[in-house]
Amino acid sequence: MRLPKITQDVSRRMRAVRRRDTAAEKELQRALSENRIRFTTHIKVLGCCPDIVLLSSRIAVFVDGDFWHGRLLVEGGAGALKKSFRKKTQPFWVPKITRNANRDRNQTHRLRRHGWCVLRFWEQDILSDARAAVLVVVKTVLRRKRKRHLSGA
């Protein structure tokens, strides 16, 4: 089966999609700052580039776009993802989104193997309620501090 050609117009639109500092990332950054959580953004960690990094706690936070990172695939499976595209565009989009989701999973495993805590949030969840994500981050920071304290590290 031949993959459909991407027109120049579609290619231009895809390039225009923000890869960093999206509205959801900025909202989460603002909410973390309001809660006095210190972080840095978009630094390389073991070949990955988390959206937000809490270095002292070794926490990597990713804000995943629902479409590009395959929320339908992750939550509904391959069938749900496939159904979301017209037959003509399925051969292009389904493998692309699947590769993105696999890359995310591999990055999460790589970071965790090296002692990092990985938190992933969906873009729309943050835009709906950034405070819920901040609560998860704060609880994770406290849990990791407690664990380090108890281990004497």
2 occurs within a structural domain: no
Residue 10 in any domain: the answer is no
Q: How confident is the model at residue 31 (pLDDT cuts 50, 70, 90)?
A: very high
Top pLDDT among 86 and 147 is at 86
- Asked whether residue 111 is domain-assigned, the answer is yes
The CATH number given to whatever domain includes residue 41 is: 3.40.960.10
pLDDT level of residue 150 (50, 70, 90 thresholds): confident
Asked whether residue 70 is domain-assigned, the answer is yes
pLDDT tens readout for residues 105-142: 999 999 999 999 999 999 999 999 999 999 999 999 99
Q: What is the 3-state secondary structure (H, E, C) of the chain?
A: CCCCCCCHHHHHHHHHCCCCCCHHHHHHHHHHHHCCCCCEECCCECCECCCEEECCCCEEEEEECCCCCCHHHHHHCHHHHHHCCCCCCHHHHHHHHHHHHHHHHHHHHHHHHCCCEEEEEEHHHHHHCHHHHHHHHHHHHHHHHHHHHHHCC
The per-residue pLDDT for range 72-81, each reduced to its tens digit, is 999 999 999 9
- Give the number of domains in the chain: 1
Q: Look at residue 87 and tell me if it is in a domain.
A: yes
Q: Which domain does 25 fall in, by range?
A: 19-151
pLDDT, tens digit (0-9, with 9 covering 90-100), for 60-69: 999 999 999 9
In a domain, 128, yes or no: yes
Predicted confidence band at 16 (pLDDT cuts at 50, 70, 90)?
Answer: low
Enter the pTM of the model: 0.85
Q: Is 9 contained in some domain?
A: no
Is 80 a domain residue? yes
